[in-house]
A = this chain, B = another copy of it.
């Protein structure tokens, strides 16, 4: 028996989800490079590779270090890394031991990467970059028609150019996935065509996000980078991206207080994360009470409101709570508990938890 709250992975559902996305990528004719920021767990990384992933995507140099240490030899830091200070030498050291691709969305960023990685590396292989373009999420990324400027600067500086990428984050909204996948393909095609017109090869055209993956355009994309698909979460549930029966991760939480129509459990924002998107119906969902809503969340309490006439679970009942955003939930724990056919079979270390730099 473990003290609640803790996060549990259902190993069977995890394997089902890993296989389904791998099959989807194969059917689409694109490479799968899952985003490891979701799980941060070497055990799961190796399973993704066993299902045919060509390598992993990560968000930070620190995550890349963890997965390189775990034996993953092809990594894409899909982020416009600003390579100064200790980060510059950490990046150089990484480039010496794995096949490394880094994101860039500015000429200044390319220059910092060049200075960082080329200093004192002698005959080491050059670093590869991919140019990030904005496909409508309006976060990082240069305008697609200007990607060629960044690519040309990289080639001039002696870096390799793998191609272009985007994150269609505006796929997170009701009915937004298919239009966002269209924006993704259009932006990537524009960027790729501009590179090719300038005589720059563009072998990698990389998109991704769990909501948009099903609608991804295999005629444009060569690579997919979904993250959440392997676990699922309440956001994907409410976006209709997944079926709740496929959710492979949930928190176990104990009812510690109750009153008419309401139970309070011991899983708060310090284990579920505080995410609540505009479209979310609450702060998470309950697998066994799909009509209940988490109407308030504080650090150590989730307040669950049940529909009228529901028998509210008794004090001490352990409930399965699905976080809204699983990436942030996993980042709060040092280990994931693994269950096989409902039996606790041990834990996996979330080795890249907190590796934000």
Q: By the criterion CB–CB under 8 Å, are B139 and A303 in contact?
A: yes
User: Which residue in B6, B268, B331 is a CB contact (below 8 Å) of A357?
Assistant: B6
Which chain B positions have C-beta within 8 A of A254?
82
In A287-307, the 8 Å CB interface with B consists of 296, 298-301, 303
Q: By the criterion CB–CB under 8 Å, are A316 and B1 in contact?
A: no
Q: By the criterion CB–CB under 8 Å, are B328 and A270 in contact?
A: yes
The chain B residue sitting closest to A86, CB to CB, is B3
In A130-150, the 8 Å CB interface with B consists of 138-141
Number of copies: 2
Which chain B positions have C-beta within 8 A of A169?
298
A138-181: CB near B (< 8 Å → 1, else 0) gives: 11110000000000000000000000000001000000000000
Say how far A293's CB is from chain B's closest CB, in angstroms: 15
Q: By the criterion CB–CB under 8 Å, are B331 and A1 in contact?
A: no
Q: By the criterion CB–CB under 8 Å, are B332 and A60 in contact?
A: no
Given A3-B357, A256-B109, A269-B273, A327 and B299 touching (CB < 8 A)? yes
The chain B residue sitting closest to A62, CB to CB, is B3
**A221 in the interface, Cβ–Cβ < 8 Å?**
no
| Cα–Cα, bound, A122→B316 (Å) | 27
Given A140-B301, A354-B334, A3 and B85 touching (CB < 8 A)? yes
A332-357: CB near B (< 8 Å → 1, else 0) gives: 11100000000000000000001011
Q: By the criterion CB–CB under 8 Å, are A356 and B271 in contact?
A: yes
Q: Is the interface of A mostly helix, strand, loop or mixed?
A: loop
Q: By the criterion CB–CB under 8 Å, are B257 and A316 in contact?
A: no
**A84 in the interface, Cβ–Cβ < 8 Å?**
yes
**A59 in the interface, Cβ–Cβ < 8 Å?**
yes
**A37 in the interface, Cβ–Cβ < 8 Å?**
yes
A1-31: CB near B (< 8 Å → 1, else 0) gives: 1111110000000000000000000000000
**Can you identify 15 A-B contacts, CB atoms within 8 angstroms?**
A1-B86, A3-B90, A5-B356, A84-B316, A106-B257, A106-B258, A106-B315, A138-B262, A139-B303, A268-B356, A269-B274, A300-B356, A331-B332, A332-B332, A332-B356
Chain A interface residues toward B at CB < 8 A: 1-6, 37, 59-61, 79-82, 84-87, 90, 105-106, 108-109, 112, 138-141, 169, 254-258, 262, 264, 266-271, 273-276, 296, 298-301, 303, 315-316, 325, 327-328, 331-334, 354, 356-357
